[in-house]
Amino acid sequence: MNRVKTIADLARLAAVSKSTVSRALSDSPLIGRETKERIRALAAAHDFRLNIPARRLSLRRSNTIGFVSPACYEDSPVADPFTLEILGSVSNALHSRGYDLLMAHINPRDREWPKEYLISGRVDGFIVLTSSRKERDIAPLVEAEAPFIMWGVPSPRSRYCTVTGDNARGGRLATERLVATGRRRIAFLGGPAAELEVQGRQAGYEETLREAGLPVDPALIVYGDYSFASGAQLTPTLLRQAPDLDAIFAASDPMAMAAINCLRELGRRVPQDVAVIGYDNLSMAAQSSPPLTTVSQNLRLAGRLLAENLLQYLETGVVTHVCVPVELVERESA
Amino acid sequence: MNRVKTIADLARLAAVSKSTVSRALSDSPLIGRETKERIRALAAAHDFRLNIPARRLSLRRSNTIGFVSPACYEDSPVADPFTLEILGSVSNALHSRGYDLLMAHINPRDREWPKEYLISGRVDGFIVLTSSRKERDIAPLVEAEAPFIMWGVPSPRSRYCTVTGDNARGGRLATERLVATGRRRIAFLGGPAAELEVQGRQAGYEETLREAGLPVDPALIVYGDYSFASGAQLTPTLLRQAPDLDAIFAASDPMAMAAINCLRELGRRVPQDVAVIGYDNLSMAAQSSPPLTTVSQNLRLAGRLLAENLLQYLETGVVTHVCVPVELVERESA
DNA sequence: CTGAAAGCGCTTACAG
DNA sequence: CTGAAAGCGCTTACAG
């Protein structure tokens, strides 16, 4: 028995036309239930799969989304655990909508990459995760008029879709918890100062301090880049500038863990001497020792919204900006 | 000026046939240098890109590789930093050979996924990274006769390509370092006991102990799953079974960092009281505090070999098994 | 060196 | 409800 490779083969077996097979497989209402079932059974029996490149050519649509992240930068890939966690939920959401997920390979010095993927029909749009170098990665997309959605706070007058966390509220929740447990010298171990999400969290942090009658002390505020490395580097700085600090609100879980590590090395106990709160609730947070109290962004939902709102944009052209809710996950570090 | 979207448009502009345009763009030796340059200049001027789905249909080859990893399991995606680091180098290597990288979405309870990607022509082969559930993920691939390459030690009588690290040597290098610095009660904080790579490392560990005249003590040996979580969970066990341990050789950098964290929490200093060595030299290793001494597997090279050997297999059918060299990166934790 | 033509395997407007 | 035919945009054997 020779393999059934094309709808023509299947049509011959079923003694119908290619059109009918095509319609039966795509569940067209034009085809009678009985015919449809017969053809589908035949297809299943022969392990038949539609040829997808042919389908894409015919439909002039790739049903593929490009994932843009520093993990696939050409020169210096950045391995950020956040990327990987959100990648999983994006993949799930796209899969259930019948879309493939392509890792876009980016040369940050080149502005042609969106065209390379888009004009060539390899991708219908992009999901962009680019924590620290937003402008640089976004510009070529805007220039190429590429359909895309970004994780992060939109810049004013942006015409692209975004999904973001509620940063001001995240900053509030963390700071309120620290204030409520009696901390008075609370440090802000931030991400890049230029980022709107960092500013949002800082605003939440400062408001909460003021409401509690605590001063906002610049010596307690530093900016890093979300990485473990920057947490390890900045914690000693913080301790030097403010030896009496009794809490740290970090911009990411890796930063929080780096901070805990440094604090212990320098003889401070966590949470007794210094309470620490992270951000994102990555899988590592629950397993850290002590288990990390952290602000959860519901990355599962975030991934789904990134996928669904981009697909919706492709269909309708409607630009959406959504904000996923944020909650404090209380564990032992604060 | 209306967009130049197909080689037919370009052919009209250049006053040649579609065949000539196609050949010029694919750099065929049949075309004269002058004609070729003229056509290519025209293509560049109009931002022309070949339609890739059409090309794939015509060539009956997708020029796309599927990346299989627990990061995209349907039910419970696993965010392992190792995955992300190797993904970057795989992406680079595939890109420079003209291949796209698709994230395969896997339902581990379903054996159809390789066919779904392969028979439908979406993918020419797979790169498989599946640390802890090898058999389960490999079986459907073997069954579907899918071309693939795996990161890891091949099981006996396997007919697929592999790239692996030199585990026995990794185990030796780490243990030798610990012995040389005077440690006598060295714990093995392993990965899954059933894995050949873990057995390889353990063999290197035990041999080195014996050569140094030290006993192999079962109380010093435990098995986890490479994750930060399992490091955090098993370090107290180890300490209970062997309170006098003075070194830990961990199966991954996250495990090593979890161990350091626990040790400090329990009042042991690192490296003074207990030396710790990790595995993989992920970016976090250099930034840990103290900076982690670790066994480096050269993931850059590993990624390149995964890509190149798979492509070579697709061309020639030659099954390769290669082993990337391993070296000890000496930092401060041991 | 160049071109006309067939073919890759789908989808769908059109006709019945 | 079903089929014949055109079309999606490439590549390449064949003929010149």
Q: What is the pLDDT of residues B234-293, one digit of tens each?
A: 999 999 999 999 999 999 999 999 999 889 888 899 999 999 999 999 888 887 778 899
Q: Give me chain A's average pLDDT, please.
A: 92
Strand D and B13 CB separated by under 7 Å: no
What is the distance between the alpha carbons of residues B189 and B140, in angstroms, rounded to a whole number?
A: 31
pLDDT in tens, A54-90: 999 999 999 999 999 988 888 888 888 888 889 999 9
B181 vs A: CB within 8 A: no
Its sign, for the CA torsion B31, B34, B37, B42, is: negative
CB contact under 8 A, A284 and B229: yes
> For residue A73, what is the enclosing H or E element?
none
Please, which pLDDT band fits residue B138 given cuts at 50, 70 and 90? confident
Q: What percent of chain A has pLDDT over 90?
A: 72
Nearest residue in A to B88, CA atom: A72
Q: Are the C-beta atoms of B285 and B296 separated by less than 8 Å?
A: no
pLDDT in tens, B3-12: 789 999 999 9
Please, which pLDDT band fits residue B32 given cuts at 50, 70 and 90? confident
CB contact under 8 A, B84 and A80: yes
pLDDT in tens, A259-284: 998 898 888 999 999 999 999 998 88
Residue B49 pLDDT more than 90?
A: yes
Residue B22 pLDDT more than 90?
A: yes
B10 CA to C13 C1', in Å?
28
Mean pLDDT within A152-174: 92
From residues 241-300 of B, list those within 7 angstroms of strand D by Cβ. Answer: none
Mean pLDDT within B49-67: 96
Size of interface A-B (CB pairs under 8 A): 187
In terms of pTM, does the model score above 0.85?
Answer: yes
- What residue spans of chain B are helical by DSSP H? 7-14, 18-25, 33-45, 52-59, 81-96, 113-118, 134-143, 167-180, 196-211, 228-241, 253-265, 283-287, 299-316
Q: Which residue has the tokens 């997708």?
A: B62
Predicted local distance difference test score (pLDDT) of residue A259: 94
Q: Which residues 240-269 on chain B approach chain A with CB closer than 8 angstroms?
A: 254, 257-258, 260-262, 264-265
Which chain B residues contact residue A260 at CB under 8 A? 261
**Hey, which bits of A167-270 come out as E strands?**
186-190, 221-223, 247-250
Strand D and B55 CB separated by under 7 Å: yes
Strand D and A40 CB separated by under 7 Å: no
> For residue B225, what is the enclosing H or E element?
none
Residue B132 pLDDT more than 70?
A: no
Predicted local distance difference test score (pLDDT) of residue B67: 97
Predicted local distance difference test score (pLDDT) of residue A75: 81
Strand partners, A249: A188, A277
Cβ–Cβ contacts within 10 Å for residue B230, how many? 24
Mean pLDDT within A9-19: 91
Q: What percent of chain B has pLDDT over 90?
A: 72
Residue B97 pLDDT more than 80?
A: yes
Predicted local distance difference test score (pLDDT) of residue A132: 62
Cβ–Cβ contacts within 10 Å for residue B258, how many? 29
> Residue A162: CB partners within 8 Å, gap ≥ 6?
A149, A150, A151, A152, A153, A154, A320, A321, A322
> Could you give the strand order of the β-sheet that contains B275-280, starting from the edge strand earlier in sequence?
B221-223, B186-190, B247-250, B275-280, B293-296, B327-329
Please, which pLDDT band fits residue B212 given cuts at 50, 70 and 90? very high
CB contact under 8 A, A81 and B84: yes
Predicted local distance difference test score (pLDDT) of residue B231: 93
Q: What percent of chain B has pLDDT over 70?
A: 99
Residue B74 pLDDT more than 60?
A: yes
Q: What angle do CA B219, B220, B221 make, to 5 degrees?
A: 95
Please, which pLDDT band fits residue B178 given cuts at 50, 70 and 90? very high
Residue A13 pLDDT more than 80?
A: yes
Predicted local distance difference test score (pLDDT) of residue A25: 93
Mean pLDDT within B305-328: 95
